[in-house]
Amino acid sequence: MADAKLAPNLPDWMQEHAKRYIASGGTDGHLYKMTQPGRPEITVPALLLTTTGRKSGDRYIFPLFYGDTGNSYFVVASKGGAPEHPGWYRNIEANPEVEVQVGTRKTKAHARTVSGPERAQLWEKALKFWPPYADYQQKTQREIPVVVLDPVS
């Protein structure tokens, strides 16, 4: 991921988290502790997703909360319930070949949006590691995508 750069326009807390994750090689930042107003502190697993910009062709790093499903990981394109999809999701729609760093482990992966029963099952798993996803879905009319990141050789 040496040629990749931190995605522009990330909130300050995401920038700080990603910089710590990158600087430590993944030894610091894999588990992210966060407190939201009115909720208890929660520890959430985080990965670094590197996508190729759909317009620029540049490679961008996004810190995202994740779950796992067998040998794959999954992430949720919530953007906090915004009306439009996050930039990383629009990037993978254009080019689903990505890189993923989970802790110190880096791998290439193929991103795919899931639907139907697979989405429903993973959505429920996502609500366990990050309950605010339910609030985000209520804030937007779009169905929030769930994306599986399948490792490739």
> Which tens digit of pLDDT belongs to each residue from 21-33?
999 999 998 998 8
Element (H or E) spanning 124, and its range?
Answer: helix 116-129
The pLDDT assigned to 87 comes to: 94
The pLDDT assigned to 102 comes to: 96
The percent of residues above 70 in pLDDT, for the chain, comes to 98
125-150 as b/e: b if 16+ CB within 10 A:
ebeebbebbeebbeebeeebbbbbbb
Per-residue pLDDT at 2 exceeds 80: no
pTM over 0.85: yes
The pLDDT assigned to 25 comes to: 93
Per-residue pLDDT at 128 exceeds 90: yes
Instruction: Give me the residue spans of the domains in the chain.
Output: 5-151
Taking CA atoms, 18 is separated from 70, 108, 128, 153, in Å, by 25, 19, 23, 25
Q: In this structure, are residues 111 and 98 in contact, taking their beta carbons and an 8 Å threshold?
A: yes
Average confidence score pLDDT of the chain: 93
> Which of 7-21, 30-44, 97-111, 117-131 has the least mean pLDDT?
30-44
67 against 153, higher pLDDT? 67
Task: Please report which confidence band the pLDDT of residue 110 belongs to, taking 50, 70 and 90 as the band edges.
Answer: very high
Per-residue pLDDT at 1 exceeds 60: no
What superfamily does domain 5-151 belong to in CATH? Electron Transport, Fmn-binding Protein; Chain A (2.30.110.10)
